[in-house]
Amino acid sequence: MKKKKVNLRDLKPNSEEQHSHDDGHDHGNGSAFKTYIPAIISFVMLMVGIAIDYFDAIPQFQGWIRITWYSLAYLPVGFPVVKEGWNSIKKGDVFTEFFLMSIATIGAFVIGEYPEGVAVMLFYAVGELFQNAAVNRAKGNIKALLDVRPKEANVFRDGDYVSVSPEAVNIGEKIQIRVGEKIPLDGILLSEKASLNTAALTGESKPDSIQKEAKVYAGSINLESVIEVEVTNKFEDSSIARILDLVQNATARKSKTELFIRQFARIYTPIVVFLAIGVTFIPYFFVDDYVFRDWLYRALIFLVISCPCALVISIPLGYFGGLGAASKNGILFKGASFLDAMTKINTLVMDKTGTVTKGVFKIKEVKAIGWNETEFMQYLMAMEEQSTHPIAKAILEYKAEGEDFKAQDVSEIAGKGLKGVVNGKTVLVGNKALMTANNINVPSETESIVESIVLVAIDNQFAGYVVIADELKEDAKETITALHKVGIKNIMMLSGDKDSITQQVAKELNIENAKGGLLPEDKLNEVEILKKNPENKIAFIGDGINDAPVLAASNVGIAMGGLGSDVAIETADVIIQTDQPSKVVRAIKISRSTRKIVWQNIILAFGVKVIVLILGAGGLATMWEAVFADVGVALLAILNAVRLQKMKWD
């Protein structure tokens, strides 16, 4: 996806998503009320007019006075619609809902049905207002991201901190963030530690504690003490800017259902207009007591009923509700089309390291032979202090009591390990090849250990070993169980780690199909083999960097922990903003619920319209039933779509 600078001041609905006429107002409390004033005026005037008609309270309320009154009641809600219809006609788009509503209500005035003409347009306008409110509500979770946009950055320049716009800060500059302030740009933590609230970025409310030199992301809130950060990205390339850009562009990627409904509406609307003309004039040739006014009234009812509002409003709103619900849960879909694609997934392929494991080595077991464990670890840690290997880092996290030992004359033996002197004793630390080369016997029990193992010899005697393993993520097991519950039976693990470790992890997680020792191209080949069966709809979950080819080849590519990964943003279709694999299950549930609601709305809209259309053509329905079939069904569909924002996904 090509990156562009995000317009952070406004996240307006896509013009196709919000097809209704724009009210032109900001939806704050004061200005939101202003949008209802025209409808309120029309409603009050309509009710007064109907009361006068019903009770015959004012005998003079006839003729041009009555016409003028209802015309004035019509204008506040009708004029914007008629104007929009006229503008569409000038652009060559004749058969719009604005055109349908205009000719239906003006036609009602022509045949003297003034209250009904006003009522139809009033209810239509109220429906539009509810639609706008529903769209704004559905967008609320996404618009909340705007609240995390920092307004300023305190940057260190000329010996002091000065306040500037985040866009004016350069890479490499140092910024200061006070308690309660938002981090304005991505960077590296210079302070010793920090506690951050990353809820707006990840959907997780739990504070994130990080140490010096850890990555921090724009939009996080500093919770405890003043911290300093070195900037690593320009603002337009920051995490929050990319998320906003991604969300804005998501609505442009329509689902097949949305595209079909829009194409259908373009064909359906002109057909309805010509059918209405037919309803008006064709009975003249077949009905003995033909009355033009009666058949025109039926045709107008036909037009009101057939307005495709419910479909054109509720379907995009349903998908946008799904996108918003996912965003609230720290899941970013790149478009509605991927919400649809996720519902069809029946095969899940996953990476191991960084996906179901933390990708961080930890000591699993310490076995000292002929030595006290603490003293044994002091010798080992003294040697590992000279190494930069990830395994050395894991060993150095061991908490050993007593004084620290110091190693001397440490040398690295390529592919085998380390040799040095600690407290006057020769120490060997490494693999079996190192021990064999120095004629040291290694116990046979080490042969059955599949995890990474560090062997230690002191003064040419085997002294013990340490088992190092990558930890499973806390929710890894429950993720596999939950995937089975939602019907994903075919789960496969592919890893670049050695096969014995991969098989052990797969066994722990109850994954039957697993392969280790794979290069990125090997993973791609495995997915291509699965794709040869057209029934397999494959989602791949990876870290978005080494797994980019497989992410691109899958039906749905899901990037884990993609918040800071450019490759994840570029390649994946769905981005899990945390490192929690369980969010994938949530993504599946959200996508399925979205599709279910969209189809409920389609069936509701078509079903009611067909019934009332038949009644209207037969003269058994009035304008009031027509209003329900159009605006009423649209409102029901909107309320149904809004349910996505209220659902629980656990």
**Cα angle: 48, vertex 78, 262; to 5 degrees:** 135
Residue 313's contacts (CB-CB under 8 Å, 6 or more residues apart) are 19, 20, 131, 634, 637, 638
Is 351 among the residues known to form the active site? yes
Distance between alpha carbon 192 and the CA centroid of its chain, in Å? 33
Residue type at position 257? T
- Buried/exposed code over 464-484 (b: 16+ C-beta within 10 A; e: otherwise): bbbbbbbebbebbbebbebbe
Which two three-digit tokens encode residue 386? 């000279």
Which two three-digit tokens encode residue 220? 């996080």
Let me know: does 257 contact 340? Beta carbons within 8 Å.
Answer: yes
**Cα angle: 471, vertex 473, 474; to 5 degrees:** 115
Q: How far apart are CA 25 and CA 42, in angstroms?
A: 19
CA proximity to 504, closest of 450, 546, 555: 450
Catalytic residue, chosen from 186, 208, 245, 351, is 351
CA torsion through residues 302, 49, 82, 41, sign: negative
For the chain, the 3-state helix, strand and coil shares in percent, each to the nearest 5, are 50, 20, 30
Q: How far apart are CA 237 and CA 143, in angstroms?
A: 19
Going from the C-alpha of 283 to that of each of 58, 280, 288, 291, 304, the distances in angstroms are: 39, 7, 9, 9, 20
Let me know: does 480 contact 490? Beta carbons within 8 Å.
Answer: no
User: Residue 399's beta-bridge partner residues?
Assistant: none
Q: How far apart are CA 243 and CA 220, in angstroms?
A: 13
**Cα angle: 406, vertex 409, 415; to 5 degrees:** 105
Give CA torsion, residues 474, 480, 485, 486, to 10 deg: 100
Active site residues: 351
